[in-house]
Amino acid sequence: MAGFASLILVGAVVLSLPVASKDGMALPFLDALFTSTSAVCVTGLVVVDTHDQFSLFGQLVILCLIQAGGLGIMTVSTLIFLVLGRRVTLRNRLLIQEAMNQLTLEGMVRLIRKVIIVTAVVEGAGAVLLATRWSFDMSILKAVYYGVFHAVSGFCNAGFDLFGGFRSLTGYQGDVWINLVMTSLIITGGLGFSVVSEIMAHRRGCRFSLHARVVLYTSAILIAVGTVVILLVEMDNPATLKPLGPLGKALGAYFQAVTPRTAGFSTLSIANFRGATQLFLIVLMFIGASPGSTGGGIKTATFATLLLAVRSVVRGREDVEIFERRIPHRVVYRALAVSMISLALVIVVTMALSVVRRDGLLPVLFEATSAFGTVGLSMGMTPSLSALGRVLIILTMFAGRVGPLTVATAIAQRQHANAVRYPEERVMVG
């Protein structure tokens, strides 16, 4: 938490300098703090447009904040240790284990190396593909810069763009190349580094762990269901999918099903979606990405664990089971605790924003969930937030980035055998 907070404050100070703005005027510190928090917490909510407000220097600062925030404080610190030739201590390895959400302490430094290699390869490939496409629309240097910026922003699930006017990727609704490259970056970054590492090892004959299988199946189901739901609900909406051809409809629905996984990019106007779609997007944003990834939310594995627990109760089974494996009860309890604490946070922030703002409940809930899930999607409320509203969203983004992980880690550390077990007695439920 201290590491994230320090990085945010340093970023805010730098972004508030006159050299960071195109007009040479110092950006108000609260706006700089909001932008820095959004970048470090890889959210994408902005009160000033990245392209219109910031100079090349300011944009590069944002890019560095996104990369550091996406990889995580411990990954960046370990990289510095490795470059300087310093030994990674046991304490640092324990912190890496917590930050990367790993089950064992074995191979932490090796995992960090894999994280750095995977990040470089995926972002590099994404940058080349995007730059190739944009070279037809702009100069080569600008295309390369845009390719690098959006590849990093996409892989880190940050949602920052350089197209100006708060447009995101709406100019590329029917562009197959841009849609598929960006969604591939978002999905890869959202799976979690350990899962991506297992996918690479699987090609060499290694079996997937239970965690990897749960993450992959849950992610695929959420994307597939999301695409179908958005397609069905928005098919005849003249403000979203109706004007598009069959391919454009499919791409639009698919992109908007992927981006609530905490990415924040959009090819369609979120404010123009029907209420049912917006509510469905809120659910997807709350679930978020996967453990140990660049995304936020309660995480796919947490959501899947809760669903499996419900299934076990309905079927009258004592154990939570999947793929012929049994999930420990303590993991189920942790999933429940993280989900309930996260839900409470979203509800409290929604209530507070409802007092500050006079908008309807759905836009406020959408904004609060987007901030908590570090998503970055908005129904247009963010730029018009008051000072108090901006502070609330800043705190929510910070809590969404470090909160659930910190809670899960704290719960895990506090587990101990009870010295006394009290007599059992039932209460009526349902």
Residues 6+ apart with CB under 8 A from 333: 411
User: In terms of pLDDT, which residue wins out, 85 or 360?
Assistant: 360
State residue 94's pLDDT score.
63
Residue-wise pLDDT tens digits, 10-33: 999 999 999 999 888 889 999 999
Distance in angstroms (rounded) separating the CA atoms of residues 173 and 398 = 31
Cβ contact 101:160 at 8 Å: no
Q: Could you give the C-alpha distances from 332 to 201, 231, 239, 321, 336, in angstroms and in order? A: 28, 33, 42, 11, 6
What residues form DSSP beta bridges with 413? none
Angle, helix 275-287 to helix 210-234, in steps of 10 degrees: 170
pTM value is 0.86
**Residue 77: what pLDDT?**
56
pLDDT score, position 414: 58
d(CA 289, CA 259) in angstroms, rounded, equals 10
Question: In which element (H, E) is residue 406 found?
Answer: helix 387-413
Please count the other Cβ atoms lying within 10 Å of the Cβ belonging to residue 170. Answer: 15
Dist. CA 362–CA 195, nearest whole Å: 34
Counting other chains too, the contacts that 238-241 makes at CB distance below 8 Å and 24 or more residues apart are 239/269, 239/272, 240/268, 240/269, 240/272, 240/273, 241/268
Give me 217's structure tokens: 């199946």
The confidence score (pLDDT) of residue 189 equals: 85
Whether pLDDT at 106 is above 60: no
Supply φ then ψ for residue 54, to 5 degrees: -95, 145
Cα separation, 272 vs 268, in Å, equals: 8
Q: 180-206: b or e for each residue (b if 16 or more CB lie within 10 Å)?
A: ebbbbbbbbbbbbbbbbbbbeeeeeee
Whether residue 63 is predicted with pLDDT greater than 60 in this model: the reply is: yes
Residue 84 pLDDT level (bands cut at 50, 70, 90): low
Question: What is the average per-residue pLDDT within 288-306?
Answer: 84
pLDDT in tens, 333-347: 888 888 888 898 899
Top mean pLDDT of 25-34, 318-327, 418-427 is at: 25-34
Nearest of 295, 257, 279 to residue 404 by alpha carbon:
295
Residue 60: pLDDT above 90? yes
160 backbone dihedrals φ, ψ, rounded to 5°: -75, 140
Select from 299, 305, 296 the least CA-distant residue to 333: 305
pLDDT digits (tens, 9 = 90+) for 236-293: 999 888 888 888 899 999 999 999 877 888 888 888 899 899 999 999 999 988 877 7
Q: 160 or 96, which is more confident?
A: 160
In the chain, what are the domain boundaries?
Answer: 2-413
The answer, yes or no, to whether residue 350 has pLDDT greater than 80, is: yes
* pLDDT at residue 220, as a whole number: 92
Instruction: Specify the pLDDT at position 24.
Output: 85
Give 217's DSSP letter: H
Q: What is the pLDDT of residue 430?
A: 67
Alpha-carbon gap, residue 16 to 48, rounded angstroms: 12
Q: What is the pLDDT of residues 117-151, one digit of tens each?
A: 888 888 999 999 999 999 988 899 999 999 999 99
Paired tokens of 182 = 């960006």
What is the predicted pLDDT for the residue at 32? 92
Greatest mean pLDDT among 33-42, 284-293, 355-364 lies in: 33-42
pLDDT of 351:
92
